Structure 1
Amino acid sequence: MKGTLVNAAAIIAGSGIGLALKSGIPAKYQNTIMQGMALAVGVIGLQMALKTQNILIVILGIAVGGIIGEALTIDAGLNKIGAWLSAKMEGRERSGQSNIGQGFVTASLVYCIGAMAVIGSIQDGLTGDTSTLFAKSLIDGITAVVFTSSMGLGVIFSSISVLLYQGSITLLAGFFSAVLSDSVIAELTATGGILIVGVSILMLEIKKIKLANLLPAIPAAAVIAYFWPL
């Protein structure tokens, strides 16, 4: 769980810096910083995607996963949860309550509901590879500065959400590490890498993608790779 611990610490550190910048960061700087982070995310995804040893498995995994995700309407479900939480926070603000809740909810959704959180945690649990989570930690730390300067103290508490969410995935993946071969892990990683490229596209606002509906592609690719020799 080293990757998740570092991720949580990075958010806390970034939030601390953001609190020191109480006047906020000008919008033009925020936009440029976020675009730079998006490009970095794209490179990370490409590096992972190129680890595939059989692109057919990746393609099939994405196709099957997309069908499953659309059937389960994962993206719509997450959007409803986000909208419900946001409405709750707005209601509290109108009542004169603190905006700590809004910062916590917003940051938690951004840091937890994403391909990098899922894939990085799986990598950490399966192979002990923390590179994706370390990269995510740096990106989350930088964005925490931006979020905290505008939304306040609540952002720092999202580190708890990250710790619980990513830690649970890492521990669960650890249980399967003994039964998955290197080739299965390679295809799982490559499939996840393509989804991370999708995160970059979303951050750059190039195209709206129902990325959450593609998350089942990760276990789908693992299952296909497991049975592929047969």
Structure 2
Amino acid sequence: MIIGPFINGSAVLIGGGVGAVLGTRLPERLRVSMPLMFGVASMCMGVILVMKVSHMPVMVLSIILGALIGELIYLEKGIAILGGKARGIASVFSKSSAGESDEKFLQSYVAIIVLFCASGTGIFGSMHEGMTGDASVLIAKSFLDLFTAGIFATTLGVAVSLICVPQLIIQLVLAYGAIFILPFTSPEMQADFSAVGGVLMVATGFRICGIKVFPVANMLPALVLAMPISHFWSSVF
């Protein structure tokens, strides 16, 4: 039975709801310092996944080609537009999200959409549970997402809770899809896939910390390319 996606989605829903209710009542020092901790945690989890890489050239090539595709199709811009629509929906229920400037809101919203819906841990955790029945990866991610959603919702409002819907859908599709993908994968392909996801998590961590705004959403196609390139590399070399 698949349970990880439901636990993870519930964490985002609850965290976002509580954060939206607290709003500015949460001390400013927590709202400023805690995202830095979340960014560092994201980078650390990313590093752990990167260290599991089976073929380093596969990881590098996937990231480069994936980012190139993402830039050419303006993937991050598309996600930003969806984020703007989500903000419009959320503003009906929350005044918090209306307090943010458009640019700042979209920049933050894109970052957490990627963190919640398309992080290496979330994608790998979903597929891992589908293949093995072990939900521990997604449960661990849920703790991080619970507090992350709460902190960001104090400024972005209920829009943060809305992310649980696409997150749940994506993770369920990946978890159940992994059952069919499993016969066509190898441990090396899974390791390279996780490593690519780890790179995205590191980039997301830098973005959350405000160190460097990497175009993380434009890098998402790398996750699609990772396994095919890994298979090709193993077959040729």
Taking structure 1 as the reference length, the TM-score comes to 0.80
For these two proteins, the number of residue pairs brought into alignment is 223
Alignment of 1:70-109 (within 5 A): 70-86=71-87, 88-89=88-89, 93=91, 97-99=92-94, 109=113
Return the alpha-carbon distance in structure 2 between the equivalents of residues 6 and 74 of structure 1.
28
Structure-to-structure mapping, 1:78-227, within 5 angstroms: 78-86=79-87, 88-89=88-89, 93=91, 97-99=92-94, 109=113, 112-116=116-120, 117-128=122-133, 130-149=135-154, 156=161, 158-227=163-232
Bigger shift: residues 10-19 or 46-55: 10-19
Asked if 1:67 is matched to 2:71, the reply is no
Inter-partner Cα distance in structure 1 for 2:221 and 2:33: 32
Cα distance in 2, alignment partners of residues 77 and 19 from structure 1: 25
Q: Percent identity?
A: 26
CA RMSD, aligned part only?
3.1
Deviations, residues 74-128 of structure 1 (Å, cap 9, x unaligned): 1121112222443x348xx5xxx4328969x969846644424434333433454
1: CA distance between counterparts of 2:75 and 2:179?
25
Cα deviation 1:160-210 (Å, max 9, x = unaligned): 443223212322233211210111111111111111111101111111111
Give structure 2 stretches of 5+ with no counterpart. Answer: 99-105
Pairwise CA distance, 1:144: 3.1
SS of residue paired to 1:177? helix
TM-score (norm 2): 0.78
Q: Deviations over 1:21-40 (max 9, x none)?
A: 47621222111111111111
| Counterpart amino acid of residue 130 in structure 2 | G
- Unpaired stretches in structure 1, ≥5 consecutive residues: none
Q: Distance in 2 between matches of 1:25 and 1:101?
A: 13
Does structure 2 retain, via aligned residues, the 8 Å contact 1:42–1:196? Answer: yes
Opposite residue 46 of structure 1, the aligned amino acid is V
Q: Which residue of 2 aligns with 1:41?
A: 42
More displaced 10-residue stretch of structure 1: 39-48 or 105-114: 105-114
